[in-house]
Amino acid sequence: MSIIDIMTERLAALDPTRMELIDDSPKHAGHASTGGGYFRLEIVSPRFADLATIARHRLVYDALGDLMGGEIHALSITARTPTEHTN
């Protein structure tokens, strides 16, 4: 199973209505890092309703758990509710 598959499986716990997860690691070739990859996540979930950005990101980090700081070196997150996504 690839890291993208593992991340997607874990993020499913957030009940996303839309999710795009992109591995940007090739763009960072040669950068100093801990060995983990660079990823970009766009996720839409009703679970983000009434939450500030930092709380939304915390939910994402919690779902990914031990992958953060290991297999994931950097993660850019755009987290919206379904209403925000359609506006």
Contact yes or no for 79/47 (Cβ under 8 A): no
Mean pLDDT, rounded, for 46-59:
98
pTM: 0.87
Please determine, for residue 34, whether its predicted confidence score (pLDDT) is greater than 60: no
What span, in angstroms and rounded, lies between the C-alpha atoms of 55 and 23?
23
Output the pLDDT for position 31: 55
**Distance from the first to the final alpha carbon of the chain:** 35
Q: How confident is the model at residue 24 (pLDDT cuts 50, 70, 90)?
A: confident
Comparing C-alpha atoms, which of 33, 53, 34 is closest to residue 43?
Answer: 53
Fold of 3-86: GMP Synthetase; Chain A, domain 3 (3.30.300)
Mean pLDDT, rounded, for 35-46:
90
Please determine, for residue 33, whether its predicted confidence score (pLDDT) is greater than 90: no
Instruction: State residue 75 phi and psi, 5-degree precision.
Output: -140, 120
Our separate counts of H helices and E strands in the chain read 3, 3
Output the pLDDT for position 1: 87
